[in-house]
Structure 1
Amino acid sequence: MQDSFNTVLPEQFAHWLHSPLGQCVLEHEQRFFDSAVADVFGYYAVQLELPGLDLLRSNRMPTRLTAGLSRHCSLNCDPAQLPFSTASIDLLVLPHTLDFHADPRAVLREAERVLVPEGRLMLTGFNPWSLWGMARRGKRGQGMPWQGHFLSLPRIKDWMALLNFEAGANKVHCYLPPLAQCGWRNRFAFMEYAGQRWWPVAGGIYCLEAVKRVRGMRLIAPRWKKAHSSVRAVAVALPDRQEQPDD
C-alpha cells in the first residue's frame, strides 16, 4: 500500500485536476500560490510533485524546480528523502503532497531539514471538516481525490509547531458540494460566498503559509547600522559633558 501511495496516487491526482471538479480546486490554489510566492526571495525554490503545474511561476528566484516521484519531475526522489543539503532551500511548495504521501509527517520533517532559517513553506490540502470530507467518508476512499489522507488544518499546525515552523496566514476555499456536474455546481455557487462568512472553517481545501524559525538565532545588523547608532550615541552624550561645572 505504501508503494502505491508514493508512486501512483500523485499522478492519479494530477490527472484528476484536469476534470471539471479538479479545475475548480486548481483555480483557487493557483491564485493562492501566485500571490504567496511572488515576494519570497532567495536562490532556490522547489515544488514537490505535480510537475505539470507551474506553481512557482510568479516567483523570481534564479533556480526553480520540481521534485518528487511523479514522472516528468526535474528531480526524481522521495519527498521524505530529498537530495538537498541541510538548510539549502529558500522556498518549498507542497501542493497536496501531504495528502498523497504514505508518511506525511516524514515529508514535513524533511521540509524542515532542507529549508534555510526563515525559509518559507507553502502547502495545500483537503479539509476533512467539510462537505468534501463527508463525501470522502461516503465513498470510503475510492477514486480521486478521496484516496488522500484529508489531514485537518489543526493537526498540520500541531506537527509544524513541533518542527519549529510558525504557521502564518491560511485560507479556506471550495465551500460548495463536490458535485461532478457543472450545472449542479452552478446551483450551489452561492455557498462559495456564504461559506466565507457563515462557516469559514468548512471549505473543502485549505492553503497555508509557514516560516521556519530557529531558536536562539540572532540576526546580525549591517555594519552601516552599527556605525549610525554610534554617531547618535556620541551626539547625545556631548551636551551632558558640556553642562558639567568646571572644577
Structure 2
Amino acid sequence: MLIKPAYSKIDLAAPQNWQHMACGQYIMEQTAELTRLHQRRLKPGKTVVVGSLGPGLNDCFRSNADWLTVGAGQQVAVRSKLTELALKENSIDNLIAPFVLEFCQNPHQLLREATRVLDEDGVLILTGFNPYSPAVASGFFIRHKKSFPWCGRYFTLIRVKDWLEVLGFEILESEFYVSHFLHHSEHRGSDWSTKLSETIPGLRAAYFIVARKQTLVNRLKPSVQRKQFAVNGRQTATAMSTKPFSKSKSNLRGKL
C-alpha cells in the first residue's frame, strides 16, 4: 500500500476486469467519460488500449474500427506482456493505459515500451490511483489489504509526469478525477466523500494524464565555407565565411 520504489522484486497480480476493483463500474464509467472528453487530443490513426481493463472501454472507440486491446487478460484481442508489447516500433498513433502502473513489476519498462511503439507525435493517455487520496489511504484497513486497488503500489501524479518528461513526452493535460473514497464495494451515489472530493480535487481517487511523444527536429546549421587567400602565390591563411567569396589572384597582387 505504501509508496515504494518503482521496481518490484516480486510479480504483482493485476485486476482481470473492472468488477475486481472496489467501485469498479463507477471508475470505469468515469474513465470512459474523461477519455471521450479528451478524444480531440488523440492523433488520427491506430489506437491501442493496454492492460486487462482495456475491453471495458470499448464504447469509447465503437465508432473507430482501427483500434485494439493488448494485454495479459482473457478478453483482450492480442495477448502480450505489457513490458514486451507485441507491437512494432513506431507503429501506433495513440496508446491508452488505464491503471497499469500500480500492478506492473517494472513500470519504467512499461513506459519505455509505450515510447517505443508510439509513432512521432503519438499520444499517451495514462490513468492511475492518487496515493494522497483517502480512498487509497484506506488500504491500511485490514479488510482492504488484499483487494483491488489497495494491493497495488502507487505513484504520485508529479512523479509519473517526471518519468514521462524524461522519456521525451510533452504533458498536454493532467487532472484528478473519481470523486469518491471507494469506502464501499459498489458506488451508491453521491455521499459525503463525493462532496468533499469535488470541493478539494487533490483528494480524488485517481489521476488522468494526456501526453504527446515529442519529435526531435534536427536544426540545420549554416554551412561554413573555407576560402584560401593567396599572396604572391603563397597560401598564408584560411578565412571562414557563410557567403560565397571570390577574388582573383591578379587583383590581390595588384593591391599588394
> What TM-score results when the alignment is normalised by the length of structure 1?
0.75
Q: Aligned with 2:60: secondary structure?
A: coil
CA RMSD of aligned residues (A): 2.6
Kept in 1: contact 2:197–2:203 (CA 8 A): yes
Change (3 A) 1:217 1:125: farther
Correspondence for 2:168? 164
Change (3 A) 1:66 1:9: same
Distance in 1 between residues matched to 2:155 and 2:11, nearest whole Å: 19
Distance in 1 between residues matched to 2:41 and 2:179, nearest whole Å: 28
Deviation larger for 149-158 or 42-51: 42-51
Percentage of matched positions with identical amino acids: 24
Distance in 2 between residues matched to 1:56 and 1:215, nearest whole Å: 34
Whose radius of gyration is greater, 1 or 2? 2
Q: Relative to total residues, which structure has the larger helix share, 1 or 2?
A: 1
Kept in 1: contact 2:85–2:113 (CA 8 A): yes
Kept in 2: contact 1:48–1:68 (CA 8 A): yes
Structure 2 residue 151 is matched with structure 1 residue 147: yes
Structure 1 residue 62: deviation in Å?
Answer: 4.1
Correspondence for 2:25? 23
Distance in 1 between residues matched to 2:105 and 2:19, nearest whole Å: 19
Kept in 2: contact 1:33–1:55 (CA 8 A): no
- Gap regions ≥5 residues in structure 1: 219-247
Which of these residues, 115, 139, 160, is aligned with residue 136 of structure 1? 139
Structure 1 residue 16: deviation in Å?
Answer: 1.9
Q: Aligned with 1:9: secondary structure?
A: coil
Change (3 A) 1:60 1:217: farther
Name the amino acid aligned to 1:124. Answer: T
Kept in 2: contact 1:47–1:55 (CA 8 A): no
Deviation larger for 152-161 or 22-31: 22-31
Correspondence for 1:180? 184
Name the amino acid aligned to 1:171. Answer: E
Correspondence for 1:10? 15
Q: Aligned with 1:209: secondary structure?
A: strand
Distance in 1 between residues matched to 2:24 and 2:131, nearest whole Å: 17
Kept in 2: contact 1:99–1:151 (CA 8 A): yes
Change (3 A) 1:56 1:83: farther
Question: After superposition, what is the alpha-carbon deviation per residue over 1:73-124, rounded to whole angstroms, capped at 9, x for unaligned?
Answer: 1110011111222111100000101122111111101001110111000011
Change (3 A) 1:59 1:116: farther
Question: After superposition, what is the alpha-carbon deviation per residue over 1:174-227, rounded to whole angstroms, capped at 9, x for unaligned?
Answer: 343222166976431xx4345344x22221111111100122267xxxxxxxxx
Name the amino acid aligned to 1:120. Answer: V
Q: Aligned with 1:99: secondary structure?
A: helix
Q: Aligned with 1:53: secondary structure?
A: helix
> What TM-score results when the alignment is normalised by the length of structure 2?
0.72
Distance in 2 between residues matched to 1:127 and 1:44, nearest whole Å: 29
Correspondence for 1:118? 121
Structure 1 residue 38: deviation in Å?
Answer: 5.2
Correspondence for 2:234? none
Distance in 1 between residues matched to 2:91 and 2:218, nearest whole Å: 17
Kept in 1: contact 2:181–2:194 (CA 8 A): no
Distance in 1 between residues matched to 2:188 and 2:93, nearest whole Å: 42
- Gap regions ≥5 residues in structure 2: 1-7, 220-256
Kept in 2: contact 1:172–1:206 (CA 8 A): yes
